Amino acid sequence: MAKDQKVIIVGAGLVGSLWAILMARRGYQVSVYERRGDMRSAGFIGGRSINLAMSDRGWKALEKAGVSEKIKAVAIPMYGRMMHSEQGQLTFQPYGKEGQAIYSVSRGGLNLELLRIGSQFDNLRYYFNHPCKSVDFRQKTIKFEDKIAQKKVEASADLIFGADGAFSAVRSSLQRLPRFNYAQNYLDYGYKELHIPPGPEGQHLIEKKALHIWPRGRFMLIALPNPDGSFTCTLFLPYEGHEAFEKLQTDQDIEAFFVKHFPDALALMPTLLENFHQNPTGNLVTIRCNPWHFEDQVLLIGDASHAIVPFYGQGMNSGFEDCTILDEMMDDYQEDWSKIVPDFSQQRVKDANAIADLALRNFVEMRDLVADPKFLLRKKIASHLQDLHPGKFLPVYSMVTFSHLPYNKALSASQAQDQLFEHILALDGIENNWKNNPEVERIFLQWLKEQ
């Protein structure tokens, strides 16, 4: 494709603004249309999590765009989970090997930085306050509304990317085409963001370099650190039932619930009631669709094609990985989009479905299993096997978070590793005799042979 050819990206969220930089670097004429106002002047209006966990897949894409150093300088490493029991006991569980961490990153800060870098390209133009209304695939045109001028506008391009999030307008137009598969599933849970302010000296009041979890079986509270000494907490709770959002209506209901389940967190939350009433209750949705493209001209990326629940911290990371893979395909296929678009759509769907499944499973792990001694034992044995057999055994969490292995490989490995640990954990007295246990070694080597 000659570099004077036009590209439209719908959505200047995390994935759209990163993808715009990578396309502009290659010399394409890039126009980005965003529904919201310009965050560079109006500030970031989020509506969703204030901070996010960034892991290796996300960092790789940011490196490609030349922004990783700047973002890492203000990101906070979280080396493991800090579990808070109902009695206030703390247990730390490392995420990976020494030095491996996921990073707490500001959603608004990251989005703004990507926009600032994008605006340095002469061949990249942003159109804010321009919601996409529909795509006409035959005419290769997109209809937008210019909210400032209050008029309809139409634009055309050789390539169109739908990066307009979970409720994508580009995808809505694709849905009207024959043989487009689409599924949307909501969890019966909602989430609410809460706040732990910094201490009097601006310090973090609980361990800074950890992701905090208060696992309570059917529900949980988590907290991620911010650079100003505060924590952003998120309560994940069923909408209906005995302990549920519907039961937390009055100040007394909310306080009694926190006194019962999260007393140590409550002591750090002077604005709990205010936050609880003011902040909306968010939904948790998984969206799967297929194909992600129309001919060689329209392609969905990020949440527009694969929105997942946040329990593996992989939504943004997987969207950024879309950008990495597409960028690599541009080299492999000499920028022949008639090959890249259908190939990407075809090979990536299975990975997106795999991380959607893994994210749903991780919800059970986070809210329930992390407090289970058997689960903690499994983690310890897994880490031990990884040390004993480097390169031969990688725990699934590390595959997803600290590697670039396709997600569908991690999903298959998770099923295989479940079988391995079923055998190991069934050994008599395993709790007290798992290190250098010849029976563990025998089961492991047998399992390895079968893989």
Site of interaction with ligand FAD (CB under 6 A): 10-16, 33-36, 48-49, 52-53, 131-132, 163-165, 169, 191, 234, 282, 302-304, 310, 313-317, 319
Min separation Cβ 16 and ligand FAD, Å: 5
Burial status of residue 319 (CB atoms within 10 A of its CB: 0-12, 13-18, 19 or more): buried
Q: What is the DSSP string of 183-245?
A: EEEEEEEEEEEEEE---TTS--SS-TTSEEEEE-SS-EEEEEE-TTS-EEEEEEEESSSSSSG
CB of 64 to ligand FAD, least distance (A): 16
State the Cα–Cα distance between residues 105 and 107, nearest whole angstrom. Answer: 6
Give first-to-last CA distance, the chain, whole Å.
Answer: 43
**Residue 311 vs 421, nearer CB to ligand FAD:** 311
> Based on CB atoms, which residue is closest to ligand FAD, 70 or 133?
133
Is residue 93 within 8 A of residue 80, CB to CB? The reply is yes
10 vs 329, beta carbon nearer ligand FAD: 10
CB of 18: closest distance to ligand FAD in angstroms? 8
Q: Which amino acid is at 256?
A: A
Nearer to ligand FAD among residue 135 and residue 440 (C-beta): 135
CB of 362 to ligand FAD, least distance (A): 12
Q: How far is the CB of 188 from ligand FAD (least distance, A)?
A: 16
Nearer to ligand FAD, 14 or 269 (CB): 14
Three-state SS for 86?
coil
**In whole angstroms, how close is the CB of 284 to ligand FAD at the nearest point?**
7
Bond prior to 178 in cis (omega within 30° of 0)? no
CA 67 from centroid of its chain's CA atoms:
19
Min dist. Cβ of residue 195 to ligand FAD (A): 14
Backbone φ, ψ for residue 208 (5° rounding)? -75, -40
Contact 285, 307 (CB under 8 A): yes
Smallest gap from Cβ 286 to ligand FAD, in A, equals 11
Query: Where do we find the tokens 């390169």?
Result: 391
- Rounded CA gap, 205 and 382, in Å? 32
Residue listed under structure tokens 């997942």: 308
Task: Output the DSSP codes for 312-338.
Answer: GS-HHHHHHHHHHHHHHHHHHTTT-HH
By beta-carbon proximity to ligand FAD, the closer residue of 10 and 210 is: 10
CA distance linking residue 232 with residue 193, whole number of Å = 7
**Cβ contact 15:163 at 8 Å:** yes
Instruction: Rank residues 38 and 335 by Cβ distance to ligand FAD and give the closer one.
Output: 38
CB 81 within 8 A of CB 211: yes
CB of 120 to ligand FAD, least distance (A): 20
- Name the minimum Å distance from CB 118 to ligand FAD: 13
The least distance separating ligand FAD from the CB of residue 33, rounded to whole angstroms, comes to: 5
CB nearest ligand FAD: which residue? 13
Tell me the residue type at 342: P
- Nearest CB to ligand FAD, comparing residues 64 and 378: 64
Of residues 114 and 269, the one with the C-beta less far from ligand FAD: 114
In the complex with ligand FAD, the residue whose CB is nearer, 67 or 424, is 67
Q: Which is nearer to ligand FAD, 234 or 324 (CB)?
A: 234
Residue position matching structure tokens 């099923």 = 415
d(CA 370, CA 200): 32
From residue 207, alpha-carbon distances to 79, 88, 92, 203, 289 in Å are 11, 14, 10, 10, 40
Helices (H), 248-314: 251-261, 263-266, 272-278
Residue type, 35: R
> How many Cβ atoms from other residues are within 10 Å of residue 243's Cβ?
16
CB of 59 to ligand FAD, least distance (A): 11
Residue closer to ligand FAD by CB (options 302, 406) is 302
